Amino acid sequence: MVRKGLVNVHLDLDVNTSSTEHPYAHLIDTLKDGIKFFNPRKLGDPRYDKLPLSIRILLEAAIRSCDGFYTRERDVQNILDWQQQQEKAEVPFSPARVLLQDFTGIPAMVDLAAMRDAVAKHGLDPNLVNPKCPTDLIIDHSLQIDYSKCAIRNAPNPGGGEGPNPSQPSRPAPARPPSRGVSHCGTQRGSCSKASCSDPPSASGRPASVQQIENTPLLCPFHLQPVSEVETALKNQEMELQRNKERLHFFKWCSKAFKSVNVIPPDIGTVHQVNLEYLSRVVQVSGGLMYPDSVVGTDSHTTMINGLGVLGWGVGGIESEAVMLGQPVSLTLPQVVGCKLVGSINPLATSIDIVLGITKQLRQAGISGRFVEFFGPGVSQLSAPDRTTIANMCPEYNATISFFPVDHITLKHFKKTNFTEEKLELLESYMKAVNLFRSYEESEDPQFSQVIEINLSSMVPHVSGPKRPQDRVAVSSMKEDFQSCLNEKVGFKGFHISKDKQDIRVPFLHCGQEYQLAHGSVVIAAVISCTNNCNPSVMLTAGLLAKKAVEAGLVVKPYIRTSLAPGSGMVTHYLNASGVLPYFNQLGFEVIGYGCATCVGNTAPLPDAVVDAIRKGDLVACGVLSGNRHFEGRLCDCVRANYLASPPLVVAYAMAGTVGIDFEKEPLGWTSEGKEVYLGDIWPSREEVQQIEEDTVISSIFKDLRTRMEKENTYWNQIECPDSVLFPWDPRSTYIRCPPFFSKLSKEVPAPQSIENAHVLLFLGDKVTTDHISPAGSIARVSAAAKYLQSKRLTPREFNSYGARRGNDAVMTRGTFASIKLHNRFIGKPGPKTLHIPSGQTLDVFEAADRYQRDGTPLIILAGKDYGSGNSRDWVAKGPYLLGVRGVIAESFEKLHKNQLVGMGIMPLQFLSGQNADTLELSGKERFSIILPERLSLRQQLTVRTSKGTSFCVTALFDSDVDLILFQHGGLLRYVAQTVVKNGSQAAAE
């Protein structure tokens, strides 16, 4: 996709101008067809060819963006001198584009809409607020699993509660198939109407019940008539569109009102796969200028794109807004760790096993905040999907990126997708001209800060859990490990179940049949093909495993909440083309739609009988998913143990019905003849998977996605929105609300205000994650957010989720620190409560903060180590800001979250080495004062005085001049708005 109108986000560069107009115009070179590019090799500096290739991309961007203001010549020289300046120099980076998904994208767009209002109030043109950097917004996070499996059990449930929704017209559910998971191919929507389509599978073993998603045509094997779209997916899509109509209306307005904003409608695919399959081009060509593709996205898994040689990483919502408005990303020139891959891949290991093995070793190496660049003979064994799978896991080992330079494997991948021979030739010519192409047989390795060697042959199958992704368990040890989790004290792995209760079995009835649940019983099994599982090989392995299982007569118990959520239509296409999708269906893994679901807590409630049995036995029930996130309580509040596993292992554990199984010694089940079936009997060989992948993952699947992108969908095309520069806010809306970030905006910058007599809102310990801080998942019925929505006359079934309501600051502020797993030392037990110190009352966090704000009392937070770890979220800083938090004092911060706090005008303050709240004998009930000097400096020590008469020093974590400027302006949003107002007023005066 060629970007139009972008040469550089900071200056209108004419590549034909003289050298006096651009300090590096003498570096401009020409390819065929007159395409020009900045060639850093023309600097004639021997340091360039020794730089890691990821740093070379930073250098090219700095050369191209050099305008003497945001990017200066000394920035270019600092990057060129990377060996000496790493971890010292602060440099700017202007990415080629911005990537948003709807959960994190809607607050960004709401903020820009609100900023337009603020600018208009100063008598200026609202169009001054308009993205300068091309921005893609993918609507993919709003899908919920209201329906699963073929049979539609309940009426629509738009609010996450129980029971039918009276506001919706009823629709007859399709007839329940004669056996679990076997659907009729043609009872609805004009598909095959032959009655015999309820017949059993044909002699070939292919079921008659083959259903299909839009743009992936398939014929009924009995009558050769087109098969209808999957009823389950259609139902979920209809509910998604209806419950999110206000949000979609706003997004449609954004696509028309803002220039350079491309909104990709629902039901196209997840943000990660759309980025990989459609948006990325390795190089960009615009205005006759060619340069490397690069991206920042509002999702920590944006790093996937580095697997294709595209530099990119996740940032917070406010950072992305800055880039959209023309500000570069500021980063400390990083160390680059060279990861040398050697050895041969174990034929039984999936790409997930390779990923988790590399993740473990990189985490142990302690590479937080660094770039990782892969090289060595083992790299050539990894396909492009393998590389993106590895790059996806950056957030789990805290690297900024995991970069795979462009090589012949990359070119081979794009040859199969959407690149013409002409484009490939141009890409290869450019990459070789600027020395960004790797040939491991010929080229010399760059110089790295550190080299880590990893042997690929050591990788064996693992899962991760039961509460954190870093807690890896070899599948061969899973049974023993889960037993140890029952025995251990409550913690990151333990559940502390007494010995006399570990063997309990709780019987229950489901659909007229009796079953039993025990500790370790699987109740949620979700195959998700996004990010670390978008690799076709693992999905095909899962599909072939399902096929072999069905042929062996194995089943999945019907009470298990199974689902298949493809990352895009591409996945459905190749599962259909390879003939494995019907077997997924027969085991209960039916396509439920396209978008994030189980990972973000959008699983529909479990059957009442299952929930009752879990609670009756106080059971540690399990969820198994091939997704990214599985913190305790995230999938479902009654499912305490959750494991991340590869898609084939999700299918295997679903068939086993328990995680307490030794696959090598215990059978998955029995054939109709009573013969035991072991996992090894039905596990497909690596050669079988690779052959099918070669035969099915071809250019047509990418063409299908392009068709879906261009066609959009009927509902989206029919949405009408006002043709106005300012958004017409609806005061009745509970989804979209104008935020208060720009109240009392002026052209003058006020001096930083000291914090005087502040109370502590929360007294927290170590490892407070963004899941604890930022609202996510469903809205609990007894929460402050629920009370607000009920005051707006909404019923629980209409609450939707925090992600869907991210555009309403009133909901999100009430949801900040609302996690059921928040450990607040004031309370002594998990929960979203805190102590209102003046009254001594225990209140919801929001209610306590609201009282403090009405009294004019500033607030701070006390915390331990690694405050703000986890995936990036915009409201992780916005929420505390609106609660009235002025500063956070912690032992250490996750760097990205520290930047987010600064970006909202909140001071990140770090205890001195060896000190913490306990060593300083702080109860948290004191009042705290922090006097700021007239002029702050980098990493300045400040004195904190308490109402007890004691004092201690902290370090203000302002690491760059940009940090200081943003804090002094009250945060990035106000800085951008004040700059627009100031410059606009000056221009009007002139």
Q: What is the mean pLDDT of residues 514-527?
A: 94
Q: What is the mean pLDDT of residues 947-972?
A: 91
Is the pLDDT at 195 greater than 60? The verdict is no
At residue 669, the 3 state secondary structure works out as strand
Q: Is residue 606 part of a domain?
A: yes
For the chain, what is the radius of gyration of the CA atoms? 28
Q: Is residue 494 part of a domain?
A: yes
Query: Residue 191 — pLDDT band, cuts 50, 70, 90?
Result: very low
Kindly report the backbone phi and psi dihedral angles of residue 94, in degrees, each rounded to the nearest multiple of 5, phi listed first: -105, 100
Domain hosting residue 571, numbered range = 462-677
Of 677, 712, 733, the domain-final residue: 677
502 and 588 part of one domain: yes
Whole-angstrom Cα distance, residue 62 to residue 331? 12
At residue 493, the 3 state secondary structure works out as coil
Query: Residue 605 — pLDDT band, cuts 50, 70, 90?
Result: confident
Q: Is residue 91 part of a domain?
A: no
Query: According to the model, what pLDDT value does residue 756 have?
Result: 96
CB 374 within 8 A of CB 339: yes
Of 677, 704, 728, the domain-final residue: 677
Query: According to the model, what pLDDT value does residue 599 have?
Result: 58
Is the pLDDT at 478 greater than 90? The verdict is yes
At residue 844, the 3 state secondary structure works out as strand
Q: What is the mean pLDDT of residues 474-498?
A: 91
Q: Which of 685, 666, 752 is nearest to 475 (CA)?
A: 666
875 and 953 part of one domain: yes
Whole-angstrom Cα distance, residue 108 to residue 391? 26
784 and 837 part of one domain: no
Query: According to the model, what pLDDT value does residue 118 have?
Result: 94
Least confident range from 30-39, 40-49, 464-473, 512-521: namely: 464-473
Query: According to the model, what pLDDT value does residue 330 have?
Result: 83
Kindly report the backbone phi and psi dihedral angles of residue 725, in degrees, each rounded to the nearest multiple of 5, phi listed first: -75, -35
Query: Residue 229 — pLDDT band, cuts 50, 70, 90?
Result: very low
Global pTM reads 0.69
The 10s digit of each residue's pLDDT in 708-736 is 777 767 778 888 888 899 999 999 999 99
Q: Please state whether 739 falls in left (phi above 0), alpha (psi between -120 and 50) or beta.
A: beta
- Of 483-497, 683-697, 910-924, which has the strongest mean pLDDT? 910-924
The 10s digit of each residue's pLDDT in 874-888 is 789 999 999 999 999
Q: Specify the DSSP element, H or E, that contains 888.
A: strand 885-890
To the nearest whole number, what is the mean pLDDT of the chain?
A: 83
CB 559 within 8 A of CB 639: no
Write the CB contacts of 596 (distance below 8 Å, at least 6 apart in sequence). 140, 141, 143, 270, 530, 565, 602
State both tokens at 207: 């079921």
On the question of a cis peptide bond just before residue 466, with omega within 30 degrees of 0, the verdict is yes
Is the pLDDT at 217 greater than 50? The verdict is no
Q: Is residue 871 part of a domain?
A: yes
Q: Is residue 804 part of a domain?
A: yes
Whole-angstrom Cα distance, residue 659 to residue 649? 10
The 10s digit of each residue's pLDDT in 238-257 is 777 777 888 889 999 999 99
Total tally of structural domains belonging to the chain: 3
644 and 767 part of one domain: no
Query: According to the model, what pLDDT value does residue 184 have?
Result: 29
Sign of CA pseudo-dihedral 261, 267, 272, 278? negative
Q: What is the mean pLDDT of residues 427-440?
A: 93
At residue 519, the 3 state secondary structure works out as coil
Q: Which residue has the tokens 């060619």?
A: 290
763 and 800 part of one domain: no
767 and 645 part of one domain: no
Query: According to the model, what pLDDT value does residue 220 have?
Result: 33
Q: What is the mean pLDDT of residues 799-804?
A: 84
Query: According to the model, what pLDDT value does residue 347 have?
Result: 66
Query: According to the model, what pLDDT value does residue 5 have?
Result: 28
HEC profile for 379-425? HHHCCHHHHHHHHHCHHHHCCCEEECCECHHHHHHHHHCCCCHHHHH
CB 140 within 8 A of CB 596: yes
Query: Residue 203 — pLDDT band, cuts 50, 70, 90?
Result: very low
At residue 288, the 3 state secondary structure works out as coil
Query: Residue 18 — pLDDT band, cuts 50, 70, 90?
Result: very low
CB 897 within 8 A of CB 906: no
Is the pLDDT at 371 greater than 90? The verdict is yes
Q: Is residue 58 part of a domain?
A: no
863 and 827 part of one domain: yes
Q: What is the mean pLDDT of residues 151-158?
A: 32
The residue with greater pLDDT, 320 or 593, is 320
770 and 782 part of one domain: no
Query: According to the model, what pLDDT value does residue 850 have?
Result: 97
CATH number at residue 844: 3.20.19.10
Angle at 164 between CA 162 and CA 169, to 5 degrees: 155
516 and 546 part of one domain: yes
Q: Is residue 515 part of a domain?
A: yes
Query: Residue 218 — pLDDT band, cuts 50, 70, 90?
Result: very low
Query: Residue 918 — pLDDT band, cuts 50, 70, 90?
Result: very high
CATH number at residue 544: 3.30.499.10
890 and 966 part of one domain: yes
Q: Is residue 367 part of a domain?
A: no
The 10s digit of each residue's pLDDT in 77-96 is 999 999 999 999 989 999 99
Kindly give the residue spans of alpha helices, DSSP state H, lying in 434-592.
478-487, 536-551, 569-577, 581-586
CB atoms within 10 A of CB 9: 24
Query: According to the model, what pLDDT value does residue 801 have?
Result: 84
The 10s digit of each residue's pLDDT in 666-685 is 999 888 888 999 999 999 98
795 and 859 part of one domain: no
880 and 804 part of one domain: no
Is the pLDDT at 183 greater than 50? The verdict is no
